[in-house]
């Protein structure tokens, strides 16, 4: 009797492969879970929601939805302590960048990033001008701040894939 070979990849293999195929995620599978990253992380000391070792472990185990929909990957400050101290040369902060990119593509990102993106697309700046600032400028006799370089910026953002170009319909042509 021939042994049965499962040709379907497990969820853990699929997700870990997805991460390692991404720029920044290449070293994910080198981690052997020693915990050096977690013990050298300033964020992990202050916030129990963030543990780089746990993020790597969940990624290796194929817990895609848990990794991408949670807030842990967004708490990394990119101090690179983990990378400097990792005995396996796992580029942990870079793996987290790869995970963030996958999360954004899957529609998981904190609202603040969407707000920044919308402000950038609509006004040419990351932070919208608040009513307070508008009022103060008016009190000081300064002109209102207008959106800057929006057309050029949107062209760049479209060509780099940050935003999808608007499709022209037959009615608008």
* Tens of each residue's pLDDT in the chain, 173 residues: 444 444 456 665 699 999 999 999 999 999 999 999 999 999 999 999 999 999 999 999 999 999 999 999 999 999 999 999 999 999 999 999 999 999 999 989 888 888 888 888 888 888 888 999 999 999 999 999 888 888 998 899 888 877 776 554 444 44
For domain 11-105, give the CATH number: 1.10.1060.10
The answer to whether 98 and 24 have CB atoms below 8 angstroms apart is yes
Q: Is the dihedral of CA 114, 118, 124, 126 positive or negative?
A: negative
The CA–CA distances, whole Å, from 148 to 35, 66, 82, 112, 114 equal 46, 39, 39, 21, 19
Asked whether the whole model's pTM tops 0.75, one would answer no
Nearest to 111 by CA among 102, 119, 122: 119
Q: Return the domain boundaries, the chain.
A: 11-105, 111-159
């Amino acid at each position: 009797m021939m042994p049965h070979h499962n040709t379907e990849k497990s969820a853990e293999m699929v997700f870990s492969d997805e991460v390692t195929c991404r720029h920044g995620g290449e070293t994910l599978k080198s981690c052997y879970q020693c915990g050096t990253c977690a013990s050298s992380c300033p964020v992990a000391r202050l916030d129990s929601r963030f543990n780089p070792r746990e993020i790597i472990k969940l990624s290796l185990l194929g817990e895609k939805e848990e990794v991408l929909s949670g807030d842990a990957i967004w708490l990394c400050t990119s101090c690179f302590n983990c990378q400097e101290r990792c005995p396996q040369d796992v580029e942990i902060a870079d793996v987290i960048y790869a995970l963030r990119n996958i999360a954004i593509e899957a529609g998981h990102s904190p609202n603040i990033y969407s707000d920044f993106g919308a402000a950038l697309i609509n006004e040419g700046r990351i932070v919208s001008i608040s009513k307070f600032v508008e009022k103060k400028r008016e009190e000081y006799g300064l002109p209102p701040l207008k959106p800057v370089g929006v057309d050029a910026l949107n062209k760049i953002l479209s060509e780099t894939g940050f935003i999808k170009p608007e499709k022209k319909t037959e009615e608008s042509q």
